A and B are shown apart, each in its own frame.
Chain A
Amino acid sequence: MLVELLLEPLRYGFLLRGLAAAVLIGVICAVIGTYVVLKGFAFIGDALAHIAFTGIVVAFLAGFVFYLGALMAAVAAGLGIGLIQRRVGLRTDTAIGILFSGIFALGIVLMSVGIKTYTVDLFSYVFGDILSVRPSDLLVILGLGGLVLVLIGLLYKELLFVNFDPVAAEATGLPAGALQLFLLTLLSITVVASVQAVGVVLVVAMLVTPSATAYLLTDRFHRMTLLGAGFGALSAVIGFYLSYFLNVPSGGTIVLVASALFALVAVLSPRRGQLRLLVRG
């Protein structure tokens, strides 16, 4: 009976693809989200998503695949942000704020100025469209996401050391700067893989919320990564089914479920003290 209910939406290929994309994105975002949460990169993730939008607009105007435009814009922005971070001067968040709002605004203006005949509905990328994930999109998400997961797995110990204690790590000869840029590049790739399904606005939630929930439950880094991935996938599945049965849009519902899981864990967690640490640090 329950099984039938759960199988009901999966009779449709596009819903199956949507669910698969949501789960994949939930897992990938949460894995990279471990670093985003611990290093306070949420704002950077937000910036990258907005900049990716401009990349999409430019790609459309120039007539090449939107993934390429988004990827180039986001990776360039990620490297730019990495360079800003390494040069003090302006506060980093201010510099990033200027950079990303400017570039996003450029995307909006380009969209209305450049597309004369018919405005293709590029705004759908702002809110995402998980129900129109094509088989090719799913392959792209799988490919980019798999790349991110494999690279993070291979450099696990180096990334851990560099993010925990960058000065000491660099002193031992680890390329801390390069690893930081590498991490930002992976973040950019993740954002691009996610943005067309969940949208510019909700990518940040998928990056931050499941990982933050995991943080409340463990004090081991690898467990935080795995638990975060679990919460990301769980939010995707529950949110997807809820949106089907309650007849509401999927992207928003998935994020709402992730937020609800966080709230639940924050209230019930035996390590609620961690919440204080997270808010403070």
Chain B
Amino acid sequence: MQTEPQPSAVTTSELVIVADRLTTGYYREPVLQEISFAVPRGALVGVIGPNGAGKSTLFRAIVGLLKPWQGRVLVGGRPARPSPDIAYIPQIHTVDWAFPVTVWDVVMMGRYPRLGLLRRPGARDRELAERALEQVRMQDFREKPIGALSGGQRQRVFLARALAEEPSILLFDEPVSGVDAPTQHFIFELLEQLCAEGRTALVASHDLSCVAQRFSQVLLLNRRMFGFGPPERVFTEELLNQTFDTHLLLLRYGDRVIVVESPEDGTSAC
């Protein structure tokens, strides 16, 4: 893990992720069309859009699991491909929580890709896993089976696994859905700290009421891109309504913006 703070990295505009007219999808159906944006190092980017907007698809393209049909995605200047340098934290429901593994086992998995075939984890790997657990404040849960954890604890463990991987880019898919408010704030504080240290994080969310203000940049996505930029510029009633294709209510309290979706959407406000 890179522990030395790199404030210079945040200020320079080194672009770590560049999407250039990206179109991709599954089978013959394009999910994303003509997506173009550039993420500088150290950014904390919110990828905001309704369910089915293609947020996970975008992450898969950035990780290199989906090839662009048109356009391209560059990560660190090169075409995206799977690598331990990018940690992808999928939505927690994609994982079988009945699996007989403990918190420690899961965090340790973050070290596997760095180890290579046939090598067993050593002292340094255990040290890194231990530090990752401490960073997410889960060190007391290391022997717990993951099936016994709450939603928020599961997200923390996933984050710890990603940290143990020592990535420079984190892709976090829906970290706040089904998670209690204190954990949401804890996760975002940690992400802000990681970004301040020079890592780059992309966070997907369909729920923008609580976390919207914490991003340095926001990508509004619903199969097409509806906006990209700092939240104060992108979170306009017009863009949000275009993105969510529904009537949203923006409430401003001083410098805070609260967005309320129409109730039949079932999206929870915090």
Q: Find residues 23-43 in chain A having any chain B CB closer than 8 Å to their own CB.
A: 38
Kindly state the interface size class of chain A when it binds its partner: 20 to 34
Contact A173 B113 (CB under 8 A): yes
Also in contact, A221 and B90, with CB within 8 A (given A157-B112, A165-B109) = no
Is A61 an interface residue, CB under 8 A from the partner?
A: no
Also in contact, A173 and B88, with CB within 8 A (given A219-B102, A221-B100) = no
Contact A168 B99 (CB under 8 A): no
Is A160 an interface residue, CB under 8 A from the partner?
A: yes
Also in contact, A168 and B100, with CB within 8 A (given A158-B112, A219-B145, A221-B105) = no
Contact A164 B87 (CB under 8 A): no
Contact B84 A158 (CB under 8 A): no
Of the candidates B100, B120, B158, the one whose C-beta lies within 8 Å of that of A218 is B100
Q: Which residue of B lies closest to A157 (CB)?
A: B112
Query: For the complex, would chain A's binding face be called helix, strand, loop or mixed by DSSP majority?
Result: helix
Contact A161 B98 (CB under 8 A): no
Q: Which residue of A lies closest to B120 (CB)?
A: A157
Chain B: residues with Cβ within 8 Å of the partner, total of 38
Contact A220 B101 (CB under 8 A): yes
Chain B residues within an 8 Å CB radius of A158:
112, 117
| Nearest CB in chain B: distance from A257 CB, A | 24
Is B82 an interface residue, CB under 8 A from the partner?
A: yes
- Chain A, residues 132-172, CB within 8 Å of chain B (1/0): the string is 00000000000000000000001101101101110111111
| Nearest CB in chain A: distance from B160 CB, A | 13
Closest 5 CB pairs of A and B: A171-B88, A219-B145, A172-B113, A277-B98, A173-B82
Interface residue ranges, B against A (CB under 8 Å): 60, 63-65, 81-84, 86-90, 94-102, 105-106, 109, 112-113, 115, 117-118, 120-121, 145, 147, 158, 161, 165, 171
- A157-B121, A169-B112 provided; 7 other pairs, C-beta below 8 A? A157-B120, A160-B112, A164-B109, A165-B95, A168-B90, A174-B112, A221-B99
